[in-house]
Amino acid sequence: MKEGETSADYNAGLPVFTFRFSDEIEKDFPHIKQEPVSTLLRVKQYIIPNYPLPPNEEKTEVLRVVVRHKTLDVITLFHKPSIASSARVLSLLKQGNAQAQETATEDQASDHTPQNQSVKREPFELDVTEAVPTEDQLRSIFEYIGQGKIGQVVEGATSVSDAVRKLAQDENAFKRPVVVDWNQGKAVIGDSESEILKLVREAPK
């Protein structure tokens, strides 16, 4: 706060900050990169993406943290832009998240409009990744969907261990899109609109 300013002068901003490895860390541990750290944090459901800076500074990468008063549920879309069904699912998730945010805003203002009464859950963190799941994430997905659908997620797999092995050998064996609500322990395989809308609209139990 500048000299002469009071709390009345405060302007709220986006609660985001970025950081990168220090020069000392990069020098002492050149084999440790920021992108794998971001991936490892994702396994623990911490969404801290790694981004390159804009042109002319793109060789510098930063990790981004969004600070919230309340932790949001994380819904991850394992996405492939070239697949039409995956693009449809991304659109549905964005719409669902926008409606949830709109409803949350209306609730705060005590203005309950009829068109959003079907949206019951609070806003969520939409995590879109083109990477394949880690082994821990894959095992969690199978717990959510059941053993009978393993082959629908990893082509040709007949068991959890078989799926892990096949995915390690060929990442293309993973079938997208797959939507996962980690907090609720639910997953949707494919682009079933009714199942995805149910996932994003139902209030957490």
Predicted confidence (pLDDT) per residue in 26-74, tens digit: 999 989 989 888 888 877 767 788 888 877 887 888 988 877 666 778 8
CA atoms of 97 and 189, how far apart (whole Å): 19
53: Cβ contacts below 8 Å, ≥ 6 apart: 60, 61, 62
Query: Other C-beta atoms within 10 Å of 74: how many?
Result: 17
From the list 162, 155, 190, the residue with the least C-alpha distance to 80 is 190
Domain for residue 3, yes or no?
no
Residue 199 host element (H or E): helix 193-201
Residues 53 and 116 in one domain: no
Q: What is the CATH number of the domain that holds 96?
A: 3.40.30.10
Q: Do 189 and 168 reside in the same domain of the chain?
A: yes
Domain co-membership, 78 together with 62:
no
| Residue 5 pLDDT | 61
Tell me the residue range of the domain where 130 lies: 74-201
CB 137 within 8 A of CB 44: no
Portion of the chain with pLDDT greater than 70, in percent:
80
- Same domain, yes or no: 30 and 87: no
Question: Is 17 or 152 the better-scoring residue by pLDDT?
Answer: 152
Domain-embedded: residue 157:
yes
Inside any domain, residue 4: no
Question: Does residue 127 carry a pLDDT above 60?
Answer: yes
**Does residue 34 share a domain with residue 53?**
yes
On whether residue 82 sits in a domain, the answer given is yes
- The count of structural domains within the chain is 2
Same domain, 97 and 178: yes
CB 153 within 8 A of CB 174: yes
Quote the CA–CA distance of 160 and 139 in Å, as a whole number. Answer: 7
Domain shared by 115 and 191, yes or no: yes
Query: For residues 176 and 187, what is the distance between their CA atoms, to the nearest angstrom?
Result: 12
